[in-house]
Chain A
Amino acid sequence: MVDEQSHKRFLGLLAAIFLFVFLLGSGFNYLVDPYGLFGTRRIDGFNERKPAASERVRVTKPYMAARAQARTVIGGNSRPEMGIDPQSACWTTDEQPVFNSGIPGADIAMQTRYVQHAAERGQAQRIFFGVDFFDFLVDVSTMPTGNIDWERLEKNYAGRLDQRTGFGFPLSLQQLDDRFSGLVSLVALGDSIKTVTAQRDVDSATRREDGFNPGLDYRPIIRNEGQAVLFSQKNREVRERLQRRNLGIHGADGQQALPLQALRRFLQWSKDHNIEVVLFINPYHADYLTQIELTGNWALFETWRQQVAVIAAEHAVPLWDFNAFDRYSTESPPAPGDKRHQLQWFWEPAHYRQELGDLMLASMLGRPCGGRTESGAYGVRLIATTLQDRQAALRKGLLRYVDDNSQVVERLGGRVRQP
């Protein structure tokens, strides 16, 4: 028979241990800050790299942006997030700090809202916003028509961006929840341990405090499996996406679909807030551009480029075009099994490296940067009068590339038969 005292001691010790482990775990999560949520000081060898942050970007970037107080903000999806480096030698002191607000896989509405948040928190003067064909594609048959309820669209993340709580309390419920989950969570604890143990791995994925994704996690794949694997996987994804039915950029009522409207809304906001915006169309590898043609979407691609140009012109915003069949985009991916060679300008068909991003910046900023002399050599600024010529040149480049590279067409799976 066990006496009551034993149970009393048991319960007391149980409560004490629970509290101890609870506080220890929460404290550890705060110190390591595996997602960059709290802005705890990054210490080399302890928590400098944030491998787990890559899966929590949507949660943590608003907090990073608030801390960054950026004068220049980069926006868009994962392509500018990996390609445009806030620490590039291209930026002058006046333009810094620079924050990269790119959100992988986000729609245009979210991308623009995150950029607005970063710009507002830092009172930024300039935004570089990368637009991407895929982000504007909708299923015409299901795209809602009529007025868009923007508040409803943002309800899942607005609490992170909006500082007004209505009760004079400094944090919204969502911000409280984010912080609580970052401290009291087994997943966070696992990620904290992973963060500390990953510090010796120079190829560990990370998000820098300035929001940039250096793409380090691609390196071990290239080293162990070869870059052909990255190309193969992305090409398959691109092809699947482009083969979906009812793709378009307008709704069934003929009006611009939500993504185009979100872009227009964003540019109007920047005009109202007197913030300069530079739009740019992300560069794609030739594989990617060829897939657009092979799946029968080239006309849609041209329409999209034209629509973006129209919207940019309406708001007097410069639009840079980096789509081309040039020496940067037509590098051939290494053969399967080749683990030694890799491309200079692209990670895979959809994501360009920061070296190419630097060339883009040199063009958009109109000055050589970091000792480079290629300013103005890469990309073209699209204006209404030259748009058609540019479209024709790109189409010509495509046709020549397809004619000259039948092995590429074959590798990509050939031309899709239209129904």
Chain B
Amino acid sequence: MLFNSYAFLLLYLPITLAAFFALGSYNRALAALWLFAASLFFYGWWNPAYLGLLLGSILFNFAAGSAISREVHRGRVARAKGLLIAAVSADLALLAYYKYANFFLDNVNQLLDTGWQLGEIILPLGISFFTFTQIAFLVDSYRGEVKERNFVHYGLFVTFFPHLIAGPVLHHKEMMPQFAQARTYRPHLENISVGLTLFILGLFKKTVLADGIADYSTPVFDAAASGQALTFFVAWGGALAYTFQLYFDFSAYSDMAIGIARVFGIKLPLNFHSPYKATNIIEFWRRWHMTLSRFLRDYLYFALGGNRKGSMRRYINLMLTMLLGGLWHGAGWTFLAWGGLHGLYLCVNHAWKHLVARMGLKPLLPRPFGKLLAWLTTFVAVVIGWVFFRASSFDAALEILRGMAGLNGAAVPNAIAAQLGDAWQLLAGIGLTTYLGGGARFIFTWLWIVLLLIVVTAMPNTQQIMRRFEPALQQLDGNAHDEIRLMHRLYPVLVWRPSAAWAVATGVAAALAVFAMSRISEFLYFQF
């Protein structure tokens, strides 16, 4: 079920919420069970066939986690470790089958010129998310960090519908205690107004902004996939449009998830913190899909040894973590390239920091220019990464990059050139050419890009707007050194409070977001 669907807004959410609090006032265990069942229904709405897979995975991991904990408490660490390895292997095998089997076979077939087939395997929704959250649970069981052992709370932690399909990637330690609190089961007006506002802001970001700009990215990537040569402005227009589409789509989902959870009295971890304001790639990854970054750091990078085994191993571990992070997003070479690219960016960034610190280098440019250059470099590097992330094939990605590099020339619609009068002669003199049609598309592409660029670089993000009411588990301010700050003085003015002005603004945003829902579209991160 989609958050931006009438079935969810008009039926599922009100019924689930009303029944939860009604049952909560009578019996908390029953209310938790109801929410668990409602979450399973939410998942099953998409494809009931995979409900069994989800339930089986929950039962298996809860049993495995309990057994591991038991063995740890009994001091049988080797046995616990064996169980952990077996359980994690089973989880990864399931993920590998559904997500990577065909990718693997395709490559083997190409390499060995064979024709092995597994048939079509439909990727169960959210499998990457519920597999990772449960692997973390298993590892923490082994580390002796799991305290609560209530199956319904565990099931709820895995399936709680706001996060089940596209994150944030939750951690049992921050979730299960909240399901055990009595106050969670009582309605609070503050939670409802804060949660609803977060949800509306997210819905607006998704239906108005992300879906609005999607019309300008998709055709460009489709054209590249069909082998069309793209000119400079078209290629950049498509790449930038996707850059904003992805951010507003995914961060919208996170806002909505955090908002819905808050209405239920549950706080989720923060998942985005204005990543496009970052002035270096290390900072970008502290702000983009933060819960996944946290998981990769805690359960992969650290497990590989982190930076404890020398700087060379650190760079290798970084590359491995990012490559696997790329593969987590999808079974394809383009995702691997995206992960590898970011691994490389991170290595370069760390090496540069190390060099600057070691040699005591002073900035060459005055601070505002240096910072602007750092932001621009980071942003362009991220955009190039998204080209691989979005493109349907390596060739399509390279086609777009060729266009962005200006190798196919630069052209504007003839209708625009005709309006420029004599100025066009100057532009034609430096090599600009024209093409027929597409004038309105060109103008709207760049209007959207400029508008959303201003929003992502100059406006406060959702958690900054809602900061007075602690919308998420963490509260972040950002490091002035590592982000560009435009119009930052206006931030306090835009801090949310339950005032008449905010009610009007939120009400208008809600109406526009609902109006924009008539074009139903899926969230991009559902595919991961």
- Does A11 lie within 8 Å of B196, measured CB to CB? yes
Least Cβ–Cβ distance between B182 and chain A, in angstroms? 18
A8→B189 contact, CB < 8 A: yes
A185→B208 CA distance, assembly (Å): 11
B418 within 8 A of A: yes
Given A21-B512, A186-B516, A225-B414, A232:B436 Cβ within 8 A: yes
Contacts of A15 in B (CB 8 A): 507
Report chain B residues within 8 Å CB of A188.
515, 518
Smallest beta-carbon distance A197→chain B, Å: 15
Smallest Cβ distance from B528 to chain A, in angstroms? 27
Q: Are B415 and A7 in contact (CB under 8 A)?
A: no
Contacts of A181 in B (CB 8 A): 518
- Cβ A10 vs Cβ B504 within 8 A: no
Determine, out of B61-69, B348-356, B392-400, B495-503, the stretch whose residues face the partner at the interface: B495-503
Contact A14 B507 (CB under 8 A): yes
A7 to B518: give the CA distance in the assembly, Å.
30
Q: Mark A4-33, 1 if CB is under 8 A from B, else 0.
A: 101111110111111011100100000000
Quote the shortest CB–CB distance from B426 to chain A (angstroms).
Answer: 18
State which residues 471-510 of B face A: CB under 8 Å: 497-500, 502-504, 506-508, 510
Q: Do B503 and A10 have beta carbons less than 8 Å apart?
A: yes
Q: What is the bound-complex CA distance between A6 and B496, given in angstroms?
A: 13
- The verdict on B144 contacting chain A, using a C-beta distance below 8 Å, is no
- Fill in one digit per residue for B380-416: 1 if any A CB lies within 8 Å of its CB, else 0: 0000000000000000000000000000000000110
Q: B196–A16 contact, CB under 8 A?
A: no
B193/A224 in contact, CB under 8 A? no
**Residue of A whose beta carbon sits closest to that of B519:** A187
For B522, the chain A residues whose CB sits under 8 A away are: none
**A2–B497 CB distance below 8 A:** yes
In the complex, whether A189 has a CB less than 8 A from a CB of chain B is yes
Partner of A25, one of B189, B437, B506, B515: B515
User: A22-B511, A186-B208 in contact; A13/B503 too (CB < 8 A)?
Assistant: yes
- B512→A14 contact, CB < 8 A: no
For A210-235 the 0/1 string (1 means CB < 8 A from B) is: 00000000000100110001001100
B514 at the interface (CB under 8 A from A): yes
Interface membership of A180, Cβ < 8 A? yes
Q: Which residues of A contact B499 (CB under 8 A)?
A: 6, 10
Q: What residues of A have a CB within 8 angstroms of the CB of B497 in the complex?
A: 2, 6
Give Cα A2 to B506, complex, Å: 18
Name A223's closest neighbour in chain B (CB-CB): B418
- Asked if B193 contacts A11 (CB within 8 A), the reply is yes
Q: Which A residues are CB-close (under 8 A) to B110?
A: none
Q: Is the CB of B414 within 8 A of A10?
A: no
Cα A15 to Cα B200 in complex, Å, equals 12
Measured between alpha carbons, how far is A186 from B500 in the docked complex, in Å? 24
Q: Is B101 an interface residue (CB 8 A)?
A: no
Interface residues of B in 412-466 (CB under 8 A from A): 414-415, 418-419, 436-437
Indicate if the CB atoms of B518 and A17 lie closer than 8 Å.
no
Within 8 A of A (CB), among B189-239: 189-190, 192-193, 196, 207-208
Chain A minimum-CB-distance residue to B436: A233
- Once the chains bind, are B500 and A13 in contact (CB under 8 Å)? yes
Chain A 161-178: CB-based contact to B (< 8 A → 1; otherwise 0): 000000000000000000
Partner among B414, B418, B508, B514 whose Cβ is within 8 Å of the Cβ of A17:
B508
How close is B61's CB to chain A, nearest CB, in angstroms? 38
> For residue A229, which residues in chain B have a CB less than 8 angstroms away from its CB?
414, 436
A184 close to chain B: CB less than 8 A: yes
Whether the Cβ atoms of A186 and B512 lie closer than 8 Å is yes
Which of A21, A186, A225 has the most chain B CB atoms inside 10 A of its CB? Answer: A186
Contact B498 A224 (CB under 8 A): no
A18 CA to B437 CA in the complex, in Å? 39
Residue contact A25 to B193, C-beta cutoff 8 Å: no
Inter-chain CA distance A185–B516, complex, in Å, is: 5
A350 CB to nearest B CB, Å: 15
**For the complex of A and B, 5 pairs with smallest distance between CB atoms:** A17-B507, A10-B498, A21-B511, A13-B503, A186-B516
What is the interface of chain B, defined by CB distance below 8 A to chain A?
Answer: 188-190, 192-193, 196, 207-208, 414-415, 418-419, 436-437, 497-500, 502-504, 506-508, 510-512, 514-516, 518-519
- A sample of 18 more A-B contacts (CB under 8 A), given A7-B190, A18-B514, A185-B519, is A2-B190, A4-B188, A7-B498, A8-B189, A9-B500, A10-B499, A11-B189, A11-B193, A14-B196, A16-B507, A17-B503, A18-B511, A22-B514, A25-B515, A180-B518, A181-B518, A186-B518, A188-B515
| Contacts A/B (CB < 8 Å), 5 sampled | A18-B507, A185-B518, A186-B515, A187-B516, A225-B415
